[in-house]
Every structure is written in C-alpha cells, then in structure tokens.
C-alpha cells in the first residue's frame, strides 16, 4: 500500500530576484493537509512574493515546488488553479456591476449540453440553473450567509471577501492563500472570517494566511513561518510557548515593545484646533463629507476610525486645503480661521502634516534626504538667508534628525526614494515633528512600516502629545487608533457617527458604528 506524502505542498529552496534585490533567498516552506499556516513578516519581507511564486504570478530563479510529493511546474495562475491552488488577493478582483453568482462563475461558465439521438452536443447557452445550484450548495455547506443574486456593489466588505473565497471553492481548490485578509475588515468581520477559516480547515482545506498582525495569527494558525528580509527565520507551532513577543523579535531581529505606554499626563488643555460643519462634494455633486465637527485640545490625541473608503482620505485633503469645502465650513487654529490653507501655508501656522501617501504627497523621491528634511521650511532661516541656501545648516539639520529619529541610511545623503518604507516615513516624521508644532495632522502613520519602526513612530506621537501638541490621527489600523488616542471618532459614509473615550469602548462596539449598524445622535456627539 502506497504511503501518502507528509506534505501537500513543498516549496524547496525558492529564490526569486528582482533588479537589485533578492526578494526570496533559498526559502523552504512545507505545508500539511488540513492546516492553517501563517506566513508572518514585516512589509517587504518577501511573503507576498513567495506566494505569488506558488500561484504562478512569478517564476523563481531557483528551487522546486512539489504537490503531494510530486514536482510540479506552475507557469501561471491557470496552472495553479488546475493543481487546486487558489489565491484571494488583498485588493478584491470583483466586478461591482455583476451579481455574486456571476462573479463566481466568471471565466468558468458551464455550457448546456443537448442530446440528439445517441449523440451529445455542447450548445452556446450557459447552464445557469446548474451553476446556481452548485454555488448555493457551497454557500449552504460553509454557512457563508450570502444571497447569490445580490449585486456585489450592494454587499459589505466582509461579504465581498466571502465571495472571493467562494470563487476559489467553486474551482475546487484544496489550498487557499489569503493575502492580508483582514486589512479592511471591521472587528466583527475579522471574527467571522476566522470562524469560517477554521470551518474550511475542518473540511480538509489547507490555508495560508499572509499577514503582519500577530493577534489574528494567534487566533487561528496551527503553525507560523516567519520571514525577514527574504529569509525564513523559523517555523514554530502556535501554542502557549510561542508568545507575541517571540514572534515580533523573529520578525524584527530584536526585542520590540508591542503596546504603547501613555504617560498618564492629564488630557487636554484649551481647545487648539476646531472643525465646524465641514462638508464637501465630489465632481458629480455628491456629498462626500457631511457636516463634520470636532475639536482637539492641547495634550490630546484624537483618532479617526472607520473602514477605508468612508471619507477619511477626503477629510485629510479638506483639512490641508487639497479639497474644496462647502460654504459655511470652517477650520480654526486657536480661534483663527485657517480654512483652505495648503500644507506649506499651514506650516507657517505651526501645523505639521503627515500625508496618507508618503511618496506622492510627502517626499521628493529623487531628492536627497537632507533636502526632504527641510521641504516646506527651505525658505526659512537658518536654511536660507536672502535667497542663499546655508549648506552647513542643512547638513547639520540632517545629521541631527537622522540620529534623533533613527533614520537608517546606506550612504551619507542618499535620494529618499532609495530608502525602505519605514525609513522614508521617519524622514517625514522627523521633518514635521522636529518643528514642535501646535497641531499635528497625521494620516496612516505606520502604513507599510515594519514593527520596529511602528514602535518608534508611536512613541514619537505620544511625546508630541505630552509636549502640549494637539494631534489628529487617521488610521485604518483600529488597534493603532485606540492605542494612541485619548478620544476616538468613527466615520461612516462621510459623517462622524460616534465619539468615545478610547479607554471606555471595545473593538466590537466600534465595529457596530464603523459598519453603520449604530450611530449617535447629533446631541450625543455635541456632548463629547
């Protein structure tokens, strides 16, 4: 009797290179049937690249892939699917104008057959009845709670993810890869996803989760492989002997403080920053921000929570003069009207701005670090005097800030575009924070940043708060918002629908407001 292989998938000595970088360097990954395996690592560690190799999106320079002990060649995603390997990408690949059913069968439609005499012919019509029955059977089997005739444009983000998973199950995959599956989910949807993944595991499916979120890994994974800088650091079981601290150290290469510690200083002094009845419309005349009002005190961090796409990006653009606002909207700094001022003008009023997109809005990529560290302040003394640049002052500023903000440079003054995401973000943080502004407007402060840099940036934000700065944080990471903020505002469909003390509200409660299930009255919001 032939013995079944120990592993359903083996990636042996995989090396994948791009110009100037080894994304995967001699990586070996082995997966057992019916396990949830977490692929853990910082952004840029090589996790997604490795799974893209497994799914046929990239071809490795070296190495071998085996399925059930036999070598296989995966030239493209069609090959992967034929081998029972499916991938759900971080950004969903669904057509919003089509129904759930139509999205699932797209590209695999079943054609009706006709029998004439003893011969069977394939027709041109799609056998929708058969397809719908098969999909409904999958929905029922895994309790996916979907109406397959609903349009994708009308369903929640969590439901869209279930549709993506169903697409793979319909193609009869037995290995499912999920890339950052909880990135845009509210807490209730995260819990729901975890339960469904466990059910899929019980049904014999093998699941790989690509993530950097330790808490979610601990909730569901059987085994955890940590990748750092293109190398496998180790594979460990998810048990009581494997702590969050252990995993963080494997990811970063040093001990990391995972939870921020606030100073305990009293919150708030006088009102430093106030937004009154802020509204804005898009090019089609549709309201994208609706009557937003809030205030931030000195010594206070206010966080904006919400599922991405609910107006957070537009709010930051409006506050920094990059989006026109409706008549009657005002933004005040210490009672002075600063509505519509651009970032360079805001800096003259002691307002620091950390934009959502550091590369498009915060940095000049081809320009040296020293120049980026004075951008927006380059016309001021001591960097410039009567139109003449002071090279010594610029160099001294670079050296001081690089050391103070732990910016890692490969050369003395490289182009900022050559830096890692974390170090590029530190350049912006150093530039804006070092001026000790009265107000800080910070959007997505740690997006694409490794755990070590996250720890540093969080501590810098809290230092600013303790130095009497009023801070606004917009972040898609709910744990970041609640961990840093004294007060949390929830945005839904361009409105503020909830306001809470951060130490007095649960993730689940916030999730109900983020999904629009609950909202506060205008009276309740004004009391906050």
Residue ending a domain, among 145, 163, 181, is 163
371 in a structural domain: no
335 in a structural domain: yes
- Sheet of 175-179, strand order: 85-88, 175-179, 206-211, 36-40, 223-228, 231-237
Q: Pick from 44, 32, 73: which is nearest to 56 by CA?
A: 73
Same domain for 465 and 519, yes or no, is yes
CA separation for the pair 126, 430 (Å, rounded): 60
Q: Are 355 and 323 spatial neighbours (Cβ–Cβ below 8 Å)?
A: no
Q: Which residues lie closer than 8 Å to 255 by C-beta, 6 or more apart?
A: 245, 248, 249
What is the predicted pLDDT for the residue at 2?
47
Q: What is the domain extent for residue 143?
A: 95-163
pTM: 0.79
Write down the residue that tokens 């089509």 correspond to. Answer: 98
75 in a structural domain: yes
Q: How many domains does the chain have?
A: 3
Q: Pick from 473, 463, 470, 503: which is nearest to 486 by CA?
A: 503
Taking residue 432's Cβ as centre, other Cβ atoms within 10 Å add up to 23
What is the predicted pLDDT for the residue at 447?
82
Same domain for 241 and 154, yes or no, is no
Same domain for 77 and 147, yes or no, is no
Q: Are 229 and 239 spatial neighbours (Cβ–Cβ below 8 Å)?
A: no
33 in a structural domain: yes
31 in a structural domain: yes
Same domain for 233 and 286, yes or no, is no
What is the predicted pLDDT for the residue at 268?
67
Peptide bond into 40 cis (omega under 30): no
396 in a structural domain: no
Which CATH number does the domain housing residue 54 bear? 3.40.50.300
Same domain for 442 and 356, yes or no, is yes
What is the predicted pLDDT for the residue at 90?
77
Same domain for 347 and 454, yes or no, is yes
Residue 241: both structure tokens together: 């002997």
Same domain for 345 and 446, yes or no, is yes
Same domain for 109 and 218, yes or no, is no
Residue ending a domain, among 112, 132, 163, is 163
24 in a structural domain: yes
- Paired residues of 111 in beta bridges: 126
Q: Pick from 507, 527, 471, 493: which is nearest to 219 by CA?
A: 507
Cα distances (angstroms) measured from residue 392 to each of 370, 382, 388, 399, 412: 11, 9, 12, 11, 14
pLDDT tens digits in sequence order for the chain, 528 residues long:
345 578 999 999 999 998 878 899 999 999 999 999 999 987 778 898 999 999 999 999 999 999 999 999 999 999 999 999 999 987 788 899 999 999 998 876 555 555 555 655 554 456 788 888 989 999 998 888 899 999 999 988 888 989 999 999 988 899 999 988 887 788 888 899 999 999 999 999 999 999 888 888 899 999 999 999 899 999 999 999 999 889 988 988 877 766 777 766 667 679 999 999 999 998 888 899 999 999 999 999 999 999 888 999 999 999 999 999 999 999 999 989 999 999 889 988 999 999 999 998 999 999 999 999 999 888 888 999 888 999 999 999 999 999 999 898 888 999 999 887 888 999 999 999 999 999 999 999 988 777 878 888 999 999 999 999 999 999 988 989 999 999 999 999 999 999 999 989 999 999 999 999 999 998 888 765
CA separation for the pair 466, 262 (Å, rounded): 9
Give the containing element (helix H, strand E) for 399.
helix 391-404
Same domain for 322 and 462, yes or no, is yes
Same domain for 350 and 453, yes or no, is yes
Helical ranges in 55-145 per DSSP H: 77-82, 100-105, 128-141
Phi-psi domain of 285 (left: phi exceeds 0; alpha: psi -120 through 50; beta: other): left
CA separation for the pair 442, 457 (Å, rounded): 11
CA separation for the pair 264, 446 (Å, rounded): 23
Same domain for 30 and 139, yes or no, is no
Give the containing element (helix H, strand E) for 398.
helix 391-404
């Amino acid at each position: 009797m032939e013995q079944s292989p120990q592993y359903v998938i083996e990636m042996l000595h995989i090396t994948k290179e791009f110009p100037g970088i080894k994304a995967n360097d001699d990586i070996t990954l082995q997966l057992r049937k019916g396990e949830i395996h977490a692929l853990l690592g910082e952004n840029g560690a090589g996790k997604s690249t490795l799974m893209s190799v497994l799914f046929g999106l990239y071809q490795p320079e070296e190495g071998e892939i085996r399925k059930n002990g036999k070598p296989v060649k995966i030239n493209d995603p069609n090959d992967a699917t034929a081998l029972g390997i499916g991938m759900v990408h971080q950004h969903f690949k669904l057509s919003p104008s089509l129904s759930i059913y139509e999205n699932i069968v797209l590209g695999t439609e079943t054609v009706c057959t006709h029998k004439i005499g003893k011969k069977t012919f394939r027709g041109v019509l799609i056998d929708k009845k058969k397809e719908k029955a098969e999909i409904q059977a999958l929905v029922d089997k895994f309790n996916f709670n979907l109406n397959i005739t609903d349009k994708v444009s009308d369903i929640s983000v969590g439901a869209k993810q279930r549709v993506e998973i169903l697409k793979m199950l319909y193609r009869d995959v037995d290995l499912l890869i999920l890339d950052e599956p909880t990135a845009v989910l509210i807490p209730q949807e995260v819990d729901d996803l975890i339960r469904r993944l466990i059910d899929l595991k019980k049904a014999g499916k093998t699941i790989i989760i690509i993530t950097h979120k330790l808490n979610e890994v601990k909730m569901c994974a059987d085994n955890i492989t940590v990748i750092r800088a293109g190398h496998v650091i180790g594979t460990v079981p998810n048990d009581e002997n494997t702590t969050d601290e252990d995993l963080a150290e494997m990811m970063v290469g040093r001990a990391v403080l995972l939870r921020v510690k606030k100073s305990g200083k009293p919150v708030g002094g006088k009102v430093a920053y106030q937004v009154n009845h802020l509204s804005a419309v898009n090019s089609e005349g549709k309201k994208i921000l609706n009557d937003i009002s809030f205030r931030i005190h000195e010594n206070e961090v206010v966080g904006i929570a919400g599922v991405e796409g609910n107006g957070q990006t537009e709010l930051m653009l409006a506050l920094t003069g990059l989006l026109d606002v409706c008549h009657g909207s005002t933004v005040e700094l210490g009672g002075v009207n600063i509505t519509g001022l651009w970032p360079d003008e805001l800096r003259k009023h002691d307002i620091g701005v950390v934009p959502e997109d550091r590369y498009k809005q915060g940095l000049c990529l081809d320009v040296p670090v020293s120049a980026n560290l004075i951008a927006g302040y380059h016309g001021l003394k001591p960097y410039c005097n009567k139109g003449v640049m002071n090279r010594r002052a610029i160099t001294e500023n670079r050296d001081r800030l690089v050391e103070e903000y732990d910016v890692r440079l490969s050369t003395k003054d490289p182009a900022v575009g050559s830096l890692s995401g974390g170090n590029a973000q530190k350049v912006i943080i150093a530039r804006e924070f070092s001026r000790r502004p009265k107000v800080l407007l910070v959007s997505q402060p740690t997006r694409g940043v490794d755990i070590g840099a996250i720890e540093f940036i969080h501590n810098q934000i809290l230092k600013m708060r303790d130095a009497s700065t009023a801070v606004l944080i917009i972040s898609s990471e709910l744990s970041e918002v609640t961990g840093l903020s004294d007060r949390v505002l929830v945005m839904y469909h361009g409105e503020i629908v909830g306001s809470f003390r951060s130490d007095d509200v649960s993730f689940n409660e916030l999730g109900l407001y983020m999904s629009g299930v609950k909202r506060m009255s205008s009276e309740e919001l004004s009391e906050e």
